[in-house]
Amino acid sequence: MKALLLENIHADAAKSLEAKGFEVETRSGALAERDLIAALDGVDYLGIRSRTHVTRQVLESATELQSVGAFCIGTNQIDLEAATELGVAVFNAPYSNTRSVVELAISEIIAMARRLTDRNRDMHNGVWDKSAIGSHEVRGRTLGIVGYGNIGSQLSIVAEALGMRVLFYDIADRLALGNARRVGSLDELLGSAETISLHVDGRSENKNMFGAAEFAKMRPRSLFLNLCRGPVVDLDALHDNLVSGHIAGAAIDVFPTEPKSKDEPFVSKLQGLSNVILTPHVGGSTQEAQEDIGRYVAGKINDYETTGSTSMSVNLPEVAAGPLRERRIVHLHHNVPGVMARLNSLLAKHDINILSQTLSTKGALGYAITDIAAADVDGLLAELEGLDETLRVRVL
C-alpha cells in the first residue's frame, strides 16, 4: 500500500497512514500533469489539496491508483467522471474546515466595516487618524449569504450572534437556522443586504455567476466577500465597482488562477486597492482545520483499503462496511440486471459460503461487499475479474 501526499497535507495524515502499514511519500507543492503521472507510478492512494489537478489523462495513466483523497472541501480539481468510470474512489472533507472559513469571513466583515485596513496602513506610514468617519458596527446590519450549505449556514449562526440580520439565497431547499430568512431570488438578496458573502461550489454553471450585472444590483457602498471558488466572480467587474466606489470594500480569498506554490508570483488586478483584503486561499488553513482534515481523509482512505468502506465517497455508491470477519470480496461493477446473480453463482460454483452481503447502487455503478467463510479464492478472483460487468474487484 503506497500513498503519495502532496501540497503540505498535515503531518498527522502521513502518521495515521503509516501507523496502518502504508508506505507514505510526501511532497510540499502541487504537481503539473506530466509530473503527477510520473509520480503516481506504483502508487495506490493519492492525497491532494486544491492546486493539484487530477485529470482524465492522469487517472488513465495511474493504473494502480485505488483512491484519491481531497484534503479539502472541494473536488472540482478532480475529473470525477473519469474517476467514476475507472472505479477510483474519491473522498473529501466536507465539514472539517467549516469553522475556519466562517471565522475568516466574520473577521473580514468586521475589518472592512471598521476600515481597519486603512487604519493599519496609515499607522505604518506614521499617520495618527483617530476618526470614526466611515467606521461602523456590524450589529444591526444585514448580511446576505449566497449558498446556504455547511459554511453558509454556520456563518449565518455566528453573524446572528453578533447581532446581524441574515438573509440567504440558495437554489436548493435549505432550512433556515435561527432567525435567518430565505429570499426568493438573488436579485432580492442583492438589493436588501449591505454585505454579500459567497459560499457556492465549483460546478461549471457557477463560473462568472457574479459579474457586472450582479454588482450593479447591490446596494451602494456594500461590502463583498468571496471565500468559495475563484471562477465564480468576474474580478474585472469587481475592480471597476471598487474603483467607482459603488462597492465600499471587498475580501477575496480565492482566484480564477492561483500560483501552485509560493515560488510563483501572484498577480491580480485587485492589488494596490486600499479597500480590498487579499488572502492566498487560506479560508480553511488553520492548524485545527488541517489536523482534522488530515485525520478525517486519511481515515477514509484507510477504511477503503482495509474494509472496502465507501462511506462519504464523493463518486462511488456508499457502503458503510463493518469490521472484517473472515474474508471479504469487494466488487465494483456496472449496475445492470443480473450482475448479483452472476456474482453469487460464482461463489456457489466454488463452494463458498456467504456470511453477509451488502449492495449499494448509484447511477451506472453498483458496489457489493460480500463477507465469506475463509476459502481459497484465487480461481474465484480470476473469474470475477473476467465478468463483463466488473470494474474492480478486491479480496480482503
Catalytic positions, please?
Answer: 229, 258, 281
Supply the angle between the helices 378-386 and 339-349 in degrees, to the nearest 10. Answer: 160
Q: Which residues contact 158 (CB under 8 A, 6 or more apart)?
A: 102, 103, 106
Tell me which DSSP letter residue 281 carries: S
Torsional class of 13: left (φ above 0), alpha (ψ -120 to 50), beta (otherwise): alpha
Residue 344 CB neighbour total at 10 angstroms: 15
Rounded distance between C-alpha atoms, residue 396 and residue 387, angstroms: 19
Q: Is 260 helix (H, G, I), strand (E, B) or coil?
A: coil
State the greatest distance between any 2 C-alpha atoms of the chain, in Å, as a whole number.
86
Rounded distance between C-alpha atoms, residue 324 and residue 27, angstroms: 33
The CA–CA distances, whole Å, from 87 to 26, 67, 394 equal 24, 9, 12
Q: Is 141 helix (H, G, I), strand (E, B) or coil?
A: coil
338 grid coordinates: 443480473
Pairing of strands 327-334, 390-395: antiparallel
Residue pair 78/70 in contact by the 8 Å Cβ criterion: yes
Residue 3 CB neighbour total at 10 angstroms: 26
